[in-house]
């Protein structure tokens, strides 16, 4: 049994890890130490899927007092997961899921593709239309410079997947029940908002002496912080709407193939986001970059990689862990290294039984490029200070990648 959490040697602020220091690349450990030395950091928590990131480490939960670091959220503001359980079982599925995958890929733009304007699902489904009207109507109030030029793309990309590690999956739990799951964020508009505010933060005088300029912060009470949080909260809502729109499109395709299907309530969770929370009586701004909230009873989703399945979890409200948990398995090698290490034949071998792309275009997403998901789950479900409990283990049957 593990003895997590572990203190990070050389850290200044209160820093605890649900990961073995010897299993983390040295550059990521140095990055964590740099974060811990920022004068505004109250607490730093490190999840078991931790790995090197831009500015802040992926798998980090940073609680700051009177400050926020935009790079501690990252450029895909509000990136996260959505899932829904169906009443379908393995017995209802055909021998091949290729037609279903083709239907989903036709309904949901992937990669650099987008809708031709606002997708109909945002016009016709009332809860989605209401939220789209609110967000699109408040676009003009965004405060990042020159953001108005992205309005058309913002409309067209809502309900689209993107590329990289974003995915849409059909999965089965251990009882044979079929789930739909997807992973995406705020698309180009979130990226543009983040980059503009990060550039602003880097110019501020109080950030000039930082060990890493990517850790530049905004300070409470300033116009710059107010502008950033305003835009960030908008982008987080956009990311949630994007996932909801995609799920509606995926459900429609599933209904075409299985007219009798019904769906349970949807699970949604951000894993790149900001929240204002209180720990030990101190009000802090918490940034989770590659981490989900795991408050008591919170349902969360922790995916692996294409072919290795995912977990539905329930938070235990562990305040020592800042009510957080990992966002996935976490990469164990860079995309560049993965492409140099593995072949298309390796990809085919590692995704046997999964209906998915098996070409060089997704080679950097091969399961071998990721950490062992079961070990990541074990690190946060066992020992003296667990973060979550497992609700369901999901096996991947079909995966759509951009």
Catalytic positions are 327
Phi, psi of 165 (to 5 degrees): -90, 10
401 assigned to a ligand binding site:
yes
Q: Which has the closest alpha carbon to 40: 74, 4, 64?
A: 64
With a CB cutoff of 8 Å and minimum separation 6, the contacts of 270 are 78, 79, 80, 236, 239, 240, 288, 292, 293
| Residues of the chain by 3-state class (helix, strand, coil), percent to 5 | 40, 30, 35
151 assigned to a ligand binding site:
no
Rounded CA-CA distance 82/301 in Å is 8
54 assigned to a ligand binding site:
no
DSSP β-bridge partners for residue 98: none
330 assigned to a ligand binding site:
yes
221 assigned to a ligand binding site:
no
Q: Which has the closest alpha carbon to 265: 388, 393, 97, 84?
A: 84
* Secondary structure class of 212 (helix, strand, coil): coil
Residue that the structure tokens 């909230």 belong to: 293
329 assigned to a ligand binding site:
yes
328 assigned to a ligand binding site:
yes
257 assigned to a ligand binding site:
no
DSSP β-bridge partners for residue 370: 331
303 assigned to a ligand binding site:
yes
318 assigned to a ligand binding site:
no
59 assigned to a ligand binding site:
no
166 assigned to a ligand binding site:
yes
70 assigned to a ligand binding site:
no
Please count the other Cβ atoms lying within 10 Å of the Cβ belonging to residue 317. 14
Binding residues for GMP, as ranges, are 165-169, 271-272, 303-306, 310, 327-330, 401
Binding residues, as ranges, are 76, 165-169, 183, 271-272, 303-306, 310, 327-330, 401
Binding residues for Mn(2+), as ranges, are 76, 166, 183, 271
């Amino acid at each position: 049994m593990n003895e997590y959490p572990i203190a990070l040697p050389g850290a200044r602020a209160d820093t605890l890890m649900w990961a073995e220091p010897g299993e983390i690349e040295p550059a990521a450990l140095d990055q964590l130490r740099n974060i811990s030395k920022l004068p505004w950091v109250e607490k730093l928590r490190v999840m078991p899927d931790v790995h090197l990131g831009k500015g802040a480490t992926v798998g980090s939960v940073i609680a700051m007092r009177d400050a926020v670091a935009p790079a501690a959220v990252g450029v895909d503001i509000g990136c996260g997961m959505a899932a829904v359980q169906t009443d379908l079982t393995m017995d209802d599925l055909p021998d091949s899921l290729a037609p279903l995958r083709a239907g989903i890929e036709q309904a949901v733009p992937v990669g650099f593709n987008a809708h031709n304007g606002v997708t109909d699902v945002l016009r016709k489904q009332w809860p989605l239309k209401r939220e789209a009207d609110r967000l699109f109507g408040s676009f003009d109030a965004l405060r990042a410079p020159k953001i108005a030029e992205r309005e058309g793309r913002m409309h067209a990309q809502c309900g689209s997947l993107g590329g990289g590690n974003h995915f849409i999956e059909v999965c089965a739990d251990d009882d044979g029940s079929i789930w739909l799951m997807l992973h995406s964020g705020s698309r180009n508009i979130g990226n543009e908002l983040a980059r503009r505010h990060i550039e602003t933060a880097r110019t501020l005088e109080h950030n000039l002496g930082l060990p890493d300029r990517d850790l530049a912060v905004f300070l409470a009470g300033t116009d710059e912080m107010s502008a950033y949080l305003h835009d960030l909260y908008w982008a987080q809502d956009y990311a949630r709407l994007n996932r909801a729109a995609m799920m509606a499109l995926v459900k429609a395709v599933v209904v075409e193939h299985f007219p009798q299907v019904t769906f349970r309530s949807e699970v949604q969770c951000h894993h790149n986001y900001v929240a204002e929370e209180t720990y030990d009586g101190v009000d802090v701004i918490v940034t989770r970059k590659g981490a989900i909230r795991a408050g008591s009873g919170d349902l969360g989703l922790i995916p692996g990689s294409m072919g290795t399945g995912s977990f539905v979890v329930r938070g235990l409200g562990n305040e020592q862990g800042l009510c957080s948990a990992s966002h996935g398995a976490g990469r164990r090698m860079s995309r560049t290294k993965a492409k140099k290490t593995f072949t298309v034949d390796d990809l085919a071998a590692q995704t046997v039984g999964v209906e998915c792309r098996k070409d060089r275009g997704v080679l950097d997403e091969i399961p071998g490029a990721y950490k062992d998901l079961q070990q990541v789950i074990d690190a946060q479900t066992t020992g003296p200070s667990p973060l979550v409990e497992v609700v369901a283990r999901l096996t991947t049957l079909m995966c759509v990648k951009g």
